[in-house]
Structure 1
Amino acid sequence: MQYTSSILVAAASLITSVSAHGFITSPQARLAGDAMKAACGQQVYNNQASDNYGNIQGELQVTATQTDYNAAECNIWQCKGFKYADNTANVQSWTAGQVVAFKFDVKAPHTGTANISIVNTATNTIIGSPLLYYSDFADNSRTIPANETSFSITVPSDLGDTCSTAGACVVQHYWNAASIDQTYESCVDFTVGGSGSSSGSSSTAATSSTPATSPVTPTSSSAATSSVAAKAVTTPSSAVPTTLQTVVSSKAPSLTSVAAAATASPEADDDEC
């Protein structure tokens, strides 16, 4: 009976993991490694090492049969549990005001929302406001717009020393495909205003072929402390700040200001940050 149960859990995990995929492909995002394995357990590690495009719900499913899963240490809702310690060679060195080009691969579309935010890894909260927000992301009823897979961010100018140490901050792409109850996160480690603890790799200023977007000034140079901000990173919630940047694109006219979505119930998933 226990053997049968394990097979069913593994099968459910496989179904979940192949339903939809998405991940940052440039700059280099965090990947699974030994530190993740130690914190999240062998099966969660296997789940993501075999397919880093997979979703958080797929990871959580396999924890049902694990004895080596440490929820507090894994912190699975931050970068899907991927650890800085496994990615010290991939730290980007940026400067305030720098425009950085990103590539995101949507292997299989499923309608949801998404945002790109700077996250304080110590508190697992968004610093200031998300840099980009998509009210209709990876909609499987239409062709994926160019600015969902190729976009630029402008490094905020008022981060102070918050992100001067490697591992302290990440740029996190958060895609909540509420239509199928799947959540995808990918994170890029970076430093601003300091050398950090790793030499890492340097990303030069770049422009994207997607429509230009104006810089976002964070509401605070320190991590946001409100319960709304915390939910925005850790668990699905539609309660989000109302000062997000509007993305304007002729190819993606449905990308709007998040302020229009901020009146939804906090328990709803479809406008999560």
Structure 2
Amino acid sequence: MMKQFTPVLAFASMISMVNAHGFVTSPQARMPGSAMAAACGNQVQVNQQSDNYGNIQGELQVASSQSDYNAAECDIWLCKGYKFADNKDNVQSYTAGQKVDFKVDIRAPHTGVANVSVVDTSSNSVIGQPLISWDIYASTATGVTSDETSFSVTIPDGLGSQCGTAGDCVLQWYWYAESIDQTYESCVDFTLGGDSSSSGSSGSSSSAVVSSAPATSATAVAATTSAATTSAATTSAAIAIETSISAPVAAQTTFATSARQSASPSEAPSSVVATASAAGSALPFPTDSAESVLSWVESLLGNLVGSN
């Protein structure tokens, strides 16, 4: 039994090594599990469990003969069908502007293109531009270079709340080996916190605005109220002074007008007019001031008394 079983294991190991080409070893990338088996089929999951370095085209070859493969639920072109539900304990926490170091293990070079991007898992679409990319990657002519397996990416600004919940976003390493038409993917789940470079200052600034705005308003209101009170007091004083000055003037003017009207020949009774004409025709009626009118009346009365 052992003599027959050992070659089988060796053959399976050889197949695994042939298929194994590349995978992200750091940060912790998604791995296959039971949620993947439920969506992509048991055999596809077993294949990736034994060789997580394998490519998507190889998965599809296995899936094509499996009745439990559900293409829509598997969504195999997103993270090779590896599911967030199997990787909830491997979520990284990053901030905008933070540098993230990547390590990639490539076991066999095949010329192609590659990039690392932030991917929206709900739509399997890249958010913004790739964080790093290679026009020629893992070339068979030059071999795998150090900057293709050890590099850093910077978490971009502007993601907002898109990546605030675990499972919504991944950093996806994507390598398409054009020379053999094979696609390799590894996904790092992450959530986005505050901006590491500006969150402190922006929070301080925001706090300053909130705390200073009411103080400024209160100061302005107090100043306005004080000014209004001062203005009102000044105005009231001015009105009081003006009234005390103008009241006698008004009374004086009213009296003069009444004196004029009562002494006017056109409005006085005819008897008064006749007497005034006989007794004081030599005294002309004054029109220049109240005092002169009073003097005129006094003189008129004097003449009348003297004539009697």
TM-score, L = length of structure 1: 0.65
Query: 1:110: which partner in 2?
Result: 110
Q: State the structure with bigger RCO (CA 8 A, min sep 6), 1 or 2.
A: 1
Distance 1:161 1:124, change over 3 A: same
Q: Identity over aligned residues, as a percent?
A: 63
Query: 1:55: which partner in 2?
Result: 55
Please state if 1:191 is matched with 2:182: no
Q: Following superposition of structure 1 onto structure 2, how do residues 248-267 of structure 1 map, counting pairs within 5 Å?
A: none
Query: 1:31: which partner in 2?
Result: 31
Whichever structure has more helix as a proportion of its residues is 2
Cα-to-partner distance string for 1:50-91 (whole Å, 9 max, x where unaligned): 000000010000112101000000000000000000000000
Distance 1:17 1:124, change over 3 A: farther
Query: 1:197: which partner in 2?
Result: none
Query: 2:79: which partner in 1?
Result: 79
SS in structure 2 opposite 1:101? strand
User: How far 1:15 sits from its partner (Å)?
Assistant: 5.9
Cα-to-partner distance string for 1:235-272 (whole Å, 9 max, x where unaligned): xxxxxxxxxxxxxxxxxxxxxxxxxxxxxxxxxxxxxx
Distance 1:19 1:140, change over 3 A: farther
Query: 2:22: which partner in 1?
Result: 22
Whichever structure has more strand as a proportion of its residues is 1
Query: 1:179: which partner in 2?
Result: 179
Would you say how many aligned residue pairs link Structure 1 and Structure 2? Answer: 184
- 8 Å contact kept, 2:111–2:138: yes
Distance 1:110 1:16, change over 3 A: farther
User: How far 1:18 sits from its partner (Å)?
Assistant: 2.0
> CA separation in 2, counterparts of 1:15 and 1:80?
19
Query: 2:100: which partner in 1?
Result: 100
Distance 1:33 1:116, change over 3 A: same
Q: Following superposition of structure 1 onto structure 2, how do residues 1-273 of structure 1 map, counting pairs within 5 Å?
A: 18-193=18-193
Report the AA paired with residue 122 of structure 1. S
> CA separation in 1, counterparts of 2:96 and 2:143?
34
SS in structure 2 opposite 1:108? coil
- 8 Å contact kept, 1:20–1:110: no
Report the AA paired with residue 101 of structure 1. D
- 8 Å contact kept, 1:113–1:176: yes
Cα-to-partner distance string for 1:113-172 (whole Å, 9 max, x where unaligned): 001000000010000011111000000111321110000010011100000000000000
SS in structure 1 opposite 2:52? coil
The gaps in structure 1 that reach 5 residues or longer are 1-10, 195-203, 205-273
> CA separation in 2, counterparts of 1:91 and 1:146?
27
- 8 Å contact kept, 1:17–1:55: no
Distance 1:122 1:157, change over 3 A: same
> CA separation in 1, counterparts of 2:136 and 2:20?
16
Report the AA paired with residue 60 of structure 1. L
The gaps in structure 2 that reach 5 residues or longer are 1-10, 197-308
SS in structure 1 opposite 2:133? strand
Tell me the C-alpha RMSD between the 2 structures: 2.0
- 8 Å contact kept, 1:160–1:193: no
- 8 Å contact kept, 1:17–1:54: no
- 8 Å contact kept, 2:19–2:51: no
